[in-house]
């Protein structure tokens, strides 16, 4: 088991309180509050347009919330409000302590540089200046996401959708982050590739003791990966709780609708 | 000389000194001062249309026009040479619009405008070196958004620059970037030294002369003040190296100078000669001879 930060294991890693994002008069997300604990996987589900991605972007500092606060416990064990940090600190956080896995790998990868450089970029960004070490780490990470070693010098453009997504994950995990944001990581992949990716993610999350906030409209993905779930509709969180509990015994009529809408093969 | 004086006499009725109007020169001088104050930082400036196409040195010309005075002696080089098209055209331009004295001797010049080379001879504190820069942003080919690259400079996020060097090593086994090799100025800004060969990079470090860079199309000016630290980026296990040449200059025998390849005939015969024409002439005048003698076309073995 992961024994990192044993003393702070019971303190939240991320504290979200009353986070609201308005687009003019329209609601992106409203009054969202929750705590995320180390090693916890939280799924945000809901139909498209429900505010999932807006919320995720507010948490990951990609969008500035209109009101409310988001605090993060850094490695020095200080709780810091993200929006009171300087931009330099936030960006530092983004490329060291955090990861962001985009739905479309092209948004998260540099498509014109090799797979090895994609994985190595974060290392170089934090000061790694030894080519041999960078390459070894990149090779190791490609192996961990099941990309053959001899593909290290290929462009992501030469990769399949599933491989690109795995490369994106490797690129994010190389600096041993503590918190990963994922926006529909399995969207657009066929089911067998999806299954392998989920398997991989589950393994990595458990091995590394990562905290994850995953946005998905796919309840099966949420059930497989997450411990806890938030159900969103029209920008509001309408139901939350343990994943199995919410999915097996949904209380809100909208959640019931969502659960019953899953196609049975 | 009489011709120069005469031309100037005619042109002075048509042009303001150094072509640009005084307000423009002031604006450019402000940008230059800011550039000197923040070494390596790209200062935006309102580049003017010049009577030559972009890519022909409009940035360098504007910088030179802003710093040149009547007492200056101008040297204009293109790829190290005083007599290639770009150098001749721009030299004539300044003769016409300022009437200043020009020279091909590096020692005698107070302002040297250059495209793609730094003279072999060490420059002194009484000289200004003006570079013509096509693309001032070293991160441009890795990050196309200007908003993003400016932010990266502001926050000193330079990991991406090493991604380019990493790619070189992964593809070619060594850092294959041979020109426009990125440098770190005074431990703060990553800078594009303009498309000079990386051979010239060490000369920029602690140079006694003031170095000014002008990019006309991109509307940027940057500078390296005298005695400023300039370090070429590299990896610990793949350190920066300058270009090596296997043979000395064919006509002056110089070693450790940057050489150009010159094709001599249709049968694959070629020679390597100094790209800095003034340096090569000086050496020949001092009696140095390369292995092809004084006239390579008549050298033994040439038909």
Give me the interface pTM, i.e. the ipTM. Answer: 0.84
Strand partners, A43: A214, A229
Could you tell me the pLDDT band of residue A2, with boundaries at 50, 70 and 90?
very low
Q: Å from A25 to nearest chain B CA?
A: 28
Specify whether B91 is located in the same domain as B226: yes
Could you tell me the pLDDT band of residue B5, with boundaries at 50, 70 and 90?
low
pLDDT for res B7:
58
Judge whether A142 lies within some domain.
yes
Residue of A nearest to B166 (CA): A117
pLDDT at B207 over 80: yes
Specify whether B291 is located in the same domain as B205: no
- HSE (side-chain half, CA atoms, 13 Å) at A39: 14
Residue of B nearest to A119 (CA): B163
H or E element that contains B115: strand B111-115
Question: What would the pLDDT profile of A157-178 be if each residue is shown by its tens digit?
Answer: 999 999 999 999 999 999 999 9
pLDDT for res B141:
84
Judge whether B291 lies within some domain.
yes
Residues from chain A contacting residue B164 (CB–CB below 8 Å): 113
Judge whether B159 lies within some domain.
no
CA dihedral B251, B255, B258, B262 (to 10 degrees): 30
Judge whether B167 lies within some domain.
no
Q: Å from B153 to nearest chain A CA?
A: 11
Output the CA–CA distances (angstroms, integers) from residue A23 to A26, A29, A66, A237, in the order listed.
5, 9, 9, 18
Interface of A with B in 120-159 (CB under 8 A): 120-126, 129-132, 134-135, 152-153
- Alpha-carbon distance A114 to A140, whole Å? 15
Residues from chain A contacting residue B157 (CB–CB below 8 Å): 91, 125
Give the one of A91, A122, A130 whose C-beta lies nearest to B237's C-beta.
A130
- Alpha-carbon distance B62 to A197, whole Å? 57
Specify whether B75 is located in the same domain as B203: yes
Could you tell me the pLDDT band of residue B250, with boundaries at 50, 70 and 90?
very high
Mean per-residue pLDDT, A91-98: 91
Judge whether B19 lies within some domain.
yes
- Alpha-carbon distance A173 to A187, whole Å? 20
- Alpha helix stretches (DSSP H) within chain B: 2-11, 22-37, 58-67, 85-98, 146-154, 159-172, 201-204, 277-285
Q: Å from B233 to nearest chain A CA?
A: 10
SS3 state at A215: strand
In A93-234 the beta strands, taken as DSSP E runs, fall at: 98-101, 179-183, 211-215, 228-233
A119: Cβ contacts below 8 Å, ≥ 6 apart: A137, A138, A141, A142, A167, A170, A171, A174
Q: How many CB atoms lie within 10 A of CB A262?
A: 11
- Alpha-carbon distance B272 to B280, whole Å? 12
Instruction: Write phi, then psi, for A135 (nearest 5 degrees).
Output: -65, -40
pLDDT for res A190:
85
Instruction: Write phi, then psi, for A91 (nearest 5 degrees).
Output: -70, -35
pLDDT for res B295:
75
pLDDT at B170 over 80: yes
Judge whether B176 lies within some domain.
no
- Alpha-carbon distance B42 to B58, whole Å? 16
SS3 state at B223: strand
pLDDT for res A194:
87
Specify whether B287 is located in the same domain as B193: no
Specify whether B57 is located in the same domain as B198: yes
CB contact under 8 Å between A131 and B155, yes or no, is no
Instruction: Write phi, then psi, for B252 (nearest 5 degrees).
Output: -120, -5
pLDDT for res B1:
45
Range of the domain at B65: 10-138+182-231
Interface of B with A in 127-146 (CB under 8 A): 142
Chain CA centroid to CA B39, Å: 17
Q: What is the mean pLDDT of chain B?
A: 92
Question: What would the pLDDT profile of B121-160 be if each residue is shown by its tens digit?
Answer: 999 999 999 999 999 999 988 888 999 999 999 999 998 9
Interface of B with A in 231-250 (CB under 8 A): 234-238
CB contact under 8 Å between A117 and B160, yes or no, is no
Specify whether B186 is located in the same domain as B291: no
Specify whether B47 is located in the same domain as B195: yes
Question: What would the pLDDT profile of A62-82 be if each residue is shown by its tens digit?
Answer: 999 999 999 999 888 999 999
Kindly list the catalytic residues of B: 40, 249, 252, 274, 280
- Alpha-carbon distance B161 to B189, whole Å? 12
Query: Closest Cα to residue B184, out of B141, B139, B214?
Result: B139
Query: Closest Cα to residue A180, out of A50, A16, A38?
Result: A38
- Alpha-carbon distance A146 to A152, whole Å? 12
DSSP B68-106: --TT-EEEEEETTBSSSHHHHHHHHHHHHHH--EE-S-T
SS3 state at A131: helix
pLDDT for res A4:
47
Judge whether B146 lies within some domain.
no
A36: Cβ contacts below 8 Å, ≥ 6 apart: A12, A13, A14, A15, A16, A42, A179, A211, A213
Number of structural domains (chain B) is: 2
CB contact under 8 Å between B159 and A130, yes or no, is no
Q: Å from B218 to nearest chain A CA?
A: 24
Give the one of B158, B166, B235 whose C-beta lies nearest to A117's C-beta.
B166
Output the CA–CA distances (angstroms, integers) from residue A44 to A113, A225, B49, in the order listed.
32, 12, 55
Specify whether B99 is located in the same domain as B200: yes
Q: Å from B164 to nearest chain A CA?
A: 8
Pairing mode, strands B189-191 and B183-185? antiparallel
pLDDT for res B126:
95
pLDDT > 90 fraction of chain B, expressed in percent and rounded: 84
Judge whether A118 lies within some domain.
yes
Specify whether B255 is located in the same domain as B281: yes
CB contact under 8 Å between B171 and A153, yes or no, is yes
Interface of B with A in 152-211 (CB under 8 A): 155, 157-160, 162-164, 166-167, 169-171
pLDDT > 90 fraction of chain A, expressed in percent and rounded: 71
**Maximum alpha-carbon separation in chain B:** 61
Interface of A with B in 65-94 (CB under 8 A): 87-88, 91
- Alpha-carbon distance B233 to B210, whole Å? 22
Query: Closest Cα to residue A178, out of A66, A68, A46, A72?
Result: A72
Lowest mean pLDDT among A3-7, A53-57, A179-183, B89-93: A3-7
CB contact under 8 Å between B169 and A116, yes or no, is no
- Alpha-carbon distance A241 to B95, whole Å? 81
Judge whether B111 lies within some domain.
yes
- Alpha-carbon distance A55 to A58, whole Å? 5
CB contact under 8 Å between A121 and B238, yes or no, is no
CB contact under 8 Å between A134 and B166, yes or no, is yes
Q: Å from A153 to nearest chain B CA?
A: 7
Judge whether B44 lies within some domain.
yes
Instruction: End-to-end CA distance of chain A: give it in Å, rounded.
Output: 36
Specify whether B197 is located in the same domain as B289: no
Range of the domain at A121: 110-175
Judge whether A166 lies within some domain.
yes
Could you tell me the pLDDT band of residue A47, with boundaries at 50, 70 and 90?
confident
Specify whether B40 is located in the same domain as B94: yes
Residues from chain B contacting residue A126 (CB–CB below 8 Å): 159
Number of structural domains (chain A) is: 1
Highest-pLDDT range among A10-19, A203-212, B39-48, B288-297: B39-48
pLDDT at B301 over 90: no
Give the one of B155, B170, B235 whose C-beta lies nearest to A91's C-beta.
B155
Could you tell me the pLDDT band of residue B296, with boundaries at 50, 70 and 90?
confident
Beta-carbon pairs below 8 A across chains A and B: 57
CB contact under 8 Å between B159 and A153, yes or no, is no
Specify whether B80 is located in the same domain as B218: yes
pLDDT for res A214:
95
């Amino acid at each position: 088991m992961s024994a990192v930060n044993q003393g702070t294991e019971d303190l939240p890693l991320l504290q979200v309180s009353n986070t609201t994002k308005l687009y003019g008069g329209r609601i992106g997300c409203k009054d969202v509050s929750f705590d995320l604990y180390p090693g916890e996987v939280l799924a945000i589900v809901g139909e498209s347009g429900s505010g999932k991605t807006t919320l995720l972007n507010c948490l990951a500092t990609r969008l500035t919330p209109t009101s409310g606060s988001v605090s993060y416990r850094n490695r020095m064990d200080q709780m810091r409000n993200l929006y009171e940090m300087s931009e330099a600190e936030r960006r530092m956080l983004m490329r060291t302590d955090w990861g962001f896995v985009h739905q479309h790998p092209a948004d998260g990868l540099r498509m014109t540089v090799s797979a090895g450089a994609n994985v190595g970029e974060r290392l170089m960004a934090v000061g790694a200046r030894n080519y041999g070490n960078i390459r070894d780490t990149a090779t190791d990470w490609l192996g961990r996401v099941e990309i053959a070693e001899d593909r290290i010098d290929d462009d992501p453009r030469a990769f399949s959708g599933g491989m690109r997504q795995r490369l994106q994950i490797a690129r994010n995990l190389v600096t041993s982050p503590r918190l990963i944001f994922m926006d529909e990581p399995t969207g657009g992949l066929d089911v067998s590739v999806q299954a392998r990716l989920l398997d991989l993610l589950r393994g990595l999350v458990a091995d590394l003791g990562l905290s994850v906030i995953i946005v998905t409209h796919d309840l099966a993905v949420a059930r497989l990966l997450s411990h806890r779930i938030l159900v969103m509709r029209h920008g509001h969180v309408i139901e939350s709780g343990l994943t199995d509990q919410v999915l097996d015994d949904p209380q809100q009529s909208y959640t019931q609708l969502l659960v019953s809408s899953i196609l049975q093969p | 000389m009489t011709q120069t004086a005469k031309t100037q006499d005619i042109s002075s009725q048509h042009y303001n000194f150094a072509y640009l109007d005084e307000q423009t020169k002031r604006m450019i001088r402000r940008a230059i001062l800011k550039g000197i104050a923040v070494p390596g930082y790209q200062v935006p400036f309102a580049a003017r249309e010049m009577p030559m196409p972009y890519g022909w040195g409009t940035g360098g010309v504007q910088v030179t026009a802003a710093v040149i005075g009547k007492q200056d002696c101008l040297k204009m080089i293109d790829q190290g040479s005083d007599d290639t098209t770009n150098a001749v055209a721009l030299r004539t331009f300044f003769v016409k619009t300022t009437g200043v004295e020009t020279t091909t001797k590096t020692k005698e010049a107070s302002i040297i405008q250059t495209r793609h080379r730094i003279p072999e001879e060490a420059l002194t504190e009484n000289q200004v070196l003006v570079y013509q820069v096509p693309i001032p942003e070293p991160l441009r080919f890795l990050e196309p958004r200007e908003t993003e690259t400016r932010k990266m400079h502001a926050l000193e996020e330079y990991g991406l620059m090493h991604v380019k060097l990493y790619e070189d090593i992964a593809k070619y086994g060594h850092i294959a970037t041979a020109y426009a090799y990125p440098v770190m100025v005074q431990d703060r800004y990553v800078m594009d030294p303009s498309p000079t060969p990386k051979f010239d990079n060490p000369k920029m470090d602690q140079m006694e002369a003031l170095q000014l860079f002008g990019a006309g199309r991109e509307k940027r000016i940057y500078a390296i003040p005298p005695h400023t630290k300039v370090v070429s980026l590299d990896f610990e296990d793949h350190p920066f190296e300058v270009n090596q040449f296997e043979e000395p200059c064919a006509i002056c025998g110089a070693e450790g100078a940057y050489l150009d390849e010159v094709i001599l005939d249709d049968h694959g015969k070629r020679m390597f000669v100094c790209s800095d024409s003034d340096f090569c002439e000086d050496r020949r005048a001092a009696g140095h001879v390369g292995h092809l003698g004084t006239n390579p076309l008549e050298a033994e073995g040439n038909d």
